[in-house]
Amino acid sequence: MENKKNRASAWFEELRTSICSSYEQLEQDYAGPYCDLAPGKFERKSWRREDLGGGDGGGGITAVMEGRLFERVGVNVSTVHGTFSEEFAKAIPGAEEDPRFWASGISLVAHPWSPHVPAVHFNTRFIVTTKAWFGGGGDMTPTFPDDQDTKDFHNAFKAACGKHDPEYFPKFKKWCDDYFFIKHRNEPRGVGGIFYDNLDSGDWDADFAFSQDVGRAFRDIVPKIYRRHMDQPWSEEERDALLYKRGRYVEFNLIYDRGTLFGLKTGGNVDAILMSMPPEVKWR
């Protein structure tokens, strides 16, 4: 198991490095509105769980870029271990027997300035209690959905899933649609993607390879979608439409998102958790 933990966390770090390079390249190449501003660069801050009073150990690195194409992109990689409270232990597979856990993962949220460039969210993680499983996914939230973008985004995950199990894509796509639904608005948060959790097929290497392929699929498709739209100018009305759309995003994250609420209620790193909040939002 130590070897598996090391391989998973090393992959999340490697993926972070290549994703961050790709985002910095997009900032460099950007030629749209306000491109006279300097291109953004990621700033990395490391944090340790014990410094935050979270109990037990480990920590992570929060990489944030505020640029001219991206209003904010946050990429967290963390590898922590701790002990679930009695309340939470009941809800987590394998934790009722022993409340100790180990978890490593990468998460990303990117909020572009432009209403023509979709916001995206991605994460993959490996969790160990008395059980061990992978989870994660990626989804896209455009202000003005574009059929080609949506098709390409879904197809990238479909191809990644298809390499592993023909049932993965339809199952994980539906799981994403069901999960990222804003019940009180009766509307989806975005155009979907995939979402999976508790993945333990019995073949760890296969599950790890699948999570790697999900990460690569996200890393490779997203820049293509960005490049189609990123240099296009926008109007104030279009920017406002983005800001209102972000309001729905905030409603989802704070009312329904299990990861956000779980993190906030278990003494997680508040800044790292709420890095998913959009930089600017409007409600009407």
Would you count residue 255 as binding a copy of itself (CB under 8 A)? yes
Q: Among 121, 154, 164, 229, which one carries the catalytic annotation?
A: 121
Active-site residue, 121 included: yes
Which CB sits closer to a copy of itself, 94 or 247?
247
Tokens matching residue 108: 């990303």
Q: Pick from 14, 29, 250, 259: which binds a copy of itself (CB under 8 A)?
A: 250
Question: Of the ranges 55-63, 126-134, 193-201, 242-250, which one interacts with a copy of itself (CB under 8 A)?
Answer: 242-250
Which CB sits closer to a copy of itself, 137 or 278?
278
Would you count residue 241 as binding a copy of itself (CB under 8 A)? no
Least separation in angstroms between residue 150's CB and a copy of itself is: 26
Q: Pick from 33, 39, 247, 259: which binds a copy of itself (CB under 8 A)?
A: 247
Instruction: Give the max Cα distance, the chain.
Output: 58
Tokens matching residue 78: 């963390």
d(CA 71, CA 23): 12
Question: Of the ranges 102-110, 142-150, 173-181, 249-257, which one interacts with a copy of itself (CB under 8 A)?
Answer: 249-257
Determine the angle formed by the axes of helices 2-29 and 204-229, rounding to 10 degrees: 10
Binding footprint of a copy of itself, residue count (CB under 8 A): 22
End-to-end C-alpha distance for the chain, whole angstroms: 51
Would you count residue 284 as binding a copy of itself (CB under 8 A)? yes
Residues 161-200 that bind a copy of itself (CB under 8 A): 183-185
Would you count residue 35 as binding a copy of itself (CB under 8 A)? no
Q: In terms of DSSP bridges, do strands 181-182 and 187-188 run parallel, antiparallel, or are they unpaired?
A: antiparallel
Mind spelling out the 3-state secondary structure of 43-106? EEEEEEHHHHCCCCEEEEEEEEECCCCEEEEEEEEEEEEEECCHHHHCCCCCCCCCCEEEEEEE
Q: Tell the residue number behind the tokens 């998973």, with chain if given.
A: 8
Would you count residue 261 as binding a copy of itself (CB under 8 A)? yes
Which CB sits closer to a copy of itself, 114 or 260?
260
Determine the angle formed by the axes of helices 236-255 and 258-265, rounding to 10 degrees: 60
d(CA 193, CA 262): 22
Neighbouring C-beta atoms of residue 260, cutoff 10 Å: 18
Least separation in angstroms between residue 281's CB and a copy of itself is: 5
Residues with catalytic function: 121
Question: Which residues here bind a copy of itself, judged by CB under 8 A?
Answer: 183-185, 243, 247, 250-251, 254-255, 261, 264-265, 270, 274, 277-284
